[in-house]
Amino acid sequence: MKYRIFTAIVMVWAAAFFQSSFLGYIEVFSIRPNLMIVLMVIIALTRNIFESTAMAISLGLCMDILMGKTLGWYGLLFFLVSIPIALINEKIYREKFLVLFTFTFGATVMIEFFFYIIIFMFKGYDHLPYVFSRIVLPEALYNSILVLPLFKPVSRVYSVLDIVDRRRNRISQ
pLDDT at 77: 93
173 pLDDT exceeds 80?
no
103 pLDDT exceeds 80?
yes
Average pLDDT, the chain: 86
pLDDT at 141: 93
Alpha-carbon gap, residue 82 to 49, rounded angstroms: 8
Please state, for a pLDDT cut of 70, what percent of the chain lies above it.
95
pLDDT band at 172 (very low <50, low <70, confident <90, very high): low
Alpha-carbon gap, residue 35 to 17, rounded angstroms: 10
pLDDT at 38: 93
Q: Dump the DSSP string for 114-159.
A: HHHHHHHHHH----HHHHIIIIIHHHHHHHHHHHHHHHHHHHHHHH
Q: Dihedral (C-alpha) 96, 102, 108, 111: value to the nearest 10 degrees? A: -110
88 pLDDT exceeds 60?
yes
Q: What is the pTM of this model?
A: 0.88
Alpha-carbon gap, residue 11 to 33, rounded angstroms: 17
On whether the CB atoms of residues 85 and 39 are closer than 8 A, the answer is: no
Higher-scoring residue by pLDDT: 91, 12:
12
Q: Which residues pair with 28 in a beta bridge?
A: 31
Residue spans per domain, the chain = 2-157
Nearest Cα to Cα of residue 64 among 47, 78, 80, 44 = 78
The CATH number corresponding to 2-157 among 2.40.10, 1.10.1760, 2.60.34, 1.10.3470 equals 1.10.1760
Q: pLDDT (tens digit, 9 = 90+) per residue, 136-155?
A: 899 999 999 989 899 899 88
